[in-house]
Structure 1
Amino acid sequence: MSNETYRRFDPWRTSPLKEESRKQIVKSHYFNVDQVSLSSPQAGTFERYVLQGNNGDAVGVLAMTDDGLIPLVEQYRIPTHRWTLEIPGGHAAEQGEKPLDIAVRKLREEAGYTADHLVQFARFIDTPSFSAQHTALFFATGLHPADRSDFGPETPRPDVRLYTLDQAYEMAVNGTIVDAKTLIAILRLHSAPDHQLDQ
């Protein structure tokens, strides 16, 4: 590879495609789906389907107890017909609910904790090949037990398991944990010196 073709990465450089039209074909509480017509000199006209998050970012909460344990929630996931271990997370319950408010609510509802400190430490695009949905990750410390809520019909009352960071990291690298937000959060925490995600 020649250094002569090297350029700095620019995520906002000019698009190689022209958007010709866009039509919403699905609308739901969590997401909408747009049918988009695009064109380029090389490919001509073609169509794609784009998932748009409805009501803002999804949220994940990586929490740590004072004795260094991370609560992970057992969830049954219908699309994959399997159980997962996940950090608490979810979407806005109503339009205008801010990511920090979602984080507070989900930590309480799913894991059964409130937190003295919550700070956002990452934000990522879930599946950029077909979705514009982002997830914001929060780190929660100063935890206090709180009443949990009942869940929906998929997992009415999921179990919460507590793991050390080393245990969670081992499950992340050996394939036990497969949920993307949980993998990103645990790997990020494992790489952070002294668990300082808020600096």
Structure 2
Amino acid sequence: MSEEIKRIKRELVHKGAVIDIYEDTMEFPDGHTAKWDYIHHDGAAAVIPALPDGRILMVRQYRNALERETIEIPAGKLDNPKEPGIECASRELEEETGYRCEHLEPLLTLHTTVAFCNERIEVFAARNLIPSRQHLDEDEFIDVEAYTMEELKEKIFSGELQDSKTVAAILAYEVKYCQDRMEKRKTGK
């Protein structure tokens, strides 16, 4: 069916610093047309920084769209659409948390809002962290906090933690990296 739906026109409505907003004219199999919103984003990367004791470093920052502070994993926009996600994730890890990591491991890739936006976020796991220092942008005010996996899951299921990339990344990290540890505790091996 999607082969029968086609875009016949794309018009730039607003060019922003982070996103571009378009109005698409779509044609359907029965011949009628409709206007659809489309938001272009160059992409981003994020990272789950795990301390040796298993706690995860999170960043607390104000988000204008929600008019409140949020707790999230470190993340940022690609400097350009061709920048490798791993480079962006490494940069954001050090800028936002004051830690770096020599080897980031791919965790998952997600699209945040598929109905109207093409934003793609590559998420990496950072273990064996090396202390460094924060390099915040002039408009960034970030507090770094460490949480156990249980504390983070409690925040997810209570509704306190709602950022989609963060929720997906935490749950994926738990499945990929924490399940073996939990099984060993249960079996005593």
Range class of TM-score, shorter chain: 0.7 to 0.9
Decide whether aligned partners of structure 1 residues 23 and 143 sit closer, same or farther in structure 2, where only a CA change above 3 A counts.
same
Give 1:167's aligned residue.
Answer: 151
Following TM superposition, the consecutive aligned residue runs of length 4 or more in structure 1 with deviations greater than 4 angstroms are: none
1:3 maps to which residue?
A: none
**Which residue of structure 2 lines up, in the alignment, with residue 58 of structure 1?**
44
**Superposition pairs of residues 115-134 of structure 1, within 5 angstroms:** 115-134=101-120
Which residue is 1:81 aligned to? 67
Amino acid at match of 1:163: Y
Mapped partners of 2:149, 2:18: distance in 1: 31
TM-score by length of 1: 0.83
Q: Report the alpha carbon displacement of residue 184 of structure 1 after superposing the two structures with TM.
A: 0.4
In proportion to residue count, which structure has more helix? Answer: 2
Unaligned runs of 5+ in 1: 1-12
* Percent sequence identity over aligned pairs: 27
- Asked whether the equivalents of residues 189 and 195 of structure 1 are also in contact (C-alpha less than 8 Å), the reply is no
CA distance in 2, matches of 1:111, 1:171: 20
* Counterparts of residues 9-158 of structure 1 (less than 5 Å): 14-42=2-30, 44-54=32-42, 57-94=43-80, 96-153=82-139, 155-156=140-141, 158=142
Normalised by the length of structure 2, the TM-score is: 0.87
Q: Deviations over 1:26-58 (max 9, x none)?
A: 22332212211011134711111101113xx21
RMSD of aligned C-alpha atoms?
A: 1.9
| CA distance 1:83–1:43, change in 2 (3 Å) | farther
Alignment length (residue pairs): 180
Answer whether contact 1:172 1:187 (CA < 8 A) is retained.
no
CA contact (8 A) 2:125 2:173 kept: no
Structure 2 spans left out of the alignment, 5+ residues: 181-189
